Amino acid sequence: MASEHDHHHAHSPGPLADASVRVARETDAPAVGLVQAVVWREAYAAVLPQEVVATFEPQAFASVWRQSLAAPPQGVYRLLAACAGDQVVGFASIGPSQDPDASPETGELSALGVHPDARRVGHGSRLLNAAVDTLRGAGATRMHAWVLATDETTRGFLQAGGLGPDGAFRDRVVSPDGDTAREVRLVADLSPEEADPAASAR
């Protein structure tokens, strides 16, 4: 997961009525790849060597998303796209949690990012809400999200949205040369009786 510091401000670059979130299509792969490359470079700049960060190319990310969208894996895997009009400006990826201690009813927000030029007008909040609604609709009662330990902005955004740290952390390999990045886990309760995840995030 990487950088999204999206809060509501008045200086919107365009009509908010044009803002939306939808399930991504295969044709969205290039736009999602571009957003991911920009956001990941920003998030990992202080964590990985510059030569590794430089390998975060839009085409590589787009290729992975195109394959995934063309032949989706089994289970509740979804790629959500945030749009300003017809332009994709952000994305969120969700699916079943792969954590060893997760129950079958645990979903995961595996990625969320908004292009820097489209932040602070609510795209991130809409993506997070759509991710929660989609997972809850699929029967998930809990959501996990892994965030770079150094990414205080994203952690703050997610905590404001109802998630909280549970003390878990991991060192994830993020390059072919074995470079690792420390991530911390945030969780939220999505049980039907909890109307607001913020009320029960732990």
Decide if pLDDT at 122 tops 70.
yes
What is the pLDDT averaged over residues 65-83?
92
Residue 30 has pLDDT above 50, yes or no: yes
Contact 69, 45 (CB under 8 A): no
Looking at residue 96, its amino acid is P
pLDDT confidence tier of residue 194, bands split at 50, 70 and 90: low
Query: What are the structural domains of the chain?
Result: 16-199 (3.40.630.30)
Percent helix, percent strand, percent coil in the chain, to nearest 5:
35, 30, 35
Is the confidence at residue 198, as pLDDT, over 70?
no
pTM: 0.85
Q: What are phi and psi of 78, to 5 degrees?
A: -140, 145
Report pLDDT for 193.
Answer: 65
**pLDDT, averaged across the chain:** 88
Residue with the larger pLDDT of the pair 86 and 6: 86
Backbone φ and ψ for 35, nearest 5 degrees, come out as: -60, -45
Q: What is the chain's Cα-based Rg? A: 16
